[in-house]
Amino acid sequence: MEIHGHRLLLACVIGLGLTGCAGYRLGPTSGIVAGTKSIQVNPFRNETSEPRLIEPVVSALRKQLQQDGTYRLASRGAADILVNGVLTRYEREGVSFQPQDILTARDFNIRVAARISVIERVTGKTILDREVTGRSSLRPGADFASAERQAAALLADDLARNVTSLLVDGTW
Reported as a single tens digit per residue, the pLDDT across 48-58 is: 998 889 999 99
Domain ranges of the chain: 32-169
- Please report which confidence band the pLDDT of residue 29 belongs to, taking 50, 70 and 90 as the band edges: very low
Output the pTM of the full model: 0.75
**Does CATH number 3.40.1260.10 belong to domain 32-169?**
no
Banded model confidence at residue 106, pLDDT cuts 50, 70, 90: confident
Q: What percent of the chain has pLDDT over 70?
A: 76
With cut-offs at 50, 70 and 90, classify the pLDDT of residue 28. very low
Mean pLDDT of 66-91: 91
The closest alpha carbon to 79, from 62, 101, 95, belongs to: 62
Highest average pLDDT, of 27-31, 85-89, 151-155, comes from 85-89
d(CA 37, CA 142): 47
In sequence order, the 6+-apart residues with CB closer than 8 A to the CB of 135 are 109, 110, 111, 112, 155, 158
Least confident among 30-44, 64-78, 81-95, 148-162: 30-44
* Average predicted confidence (pLDDT) for the chain: 82
1-10 tens-digit pLDDT: 555 666 766 6
Name, in order, each residue with C-beta under 8 angstroms of 82's C-beta and a sequence gap of 6 or more: 39, 40, 42, 118, 119, 121
Mean pLDDT of 124-143: 89
Q: How far apart are CA 99 and CA 23, in angstroms?
A: 50
CA 86 to each of CA 33, 58, 78, 83, 93: distance values in angstroms, whole numbers, following the listed order: 29, 11, 22, 11, 21
147-166 mean pLDDT: 92
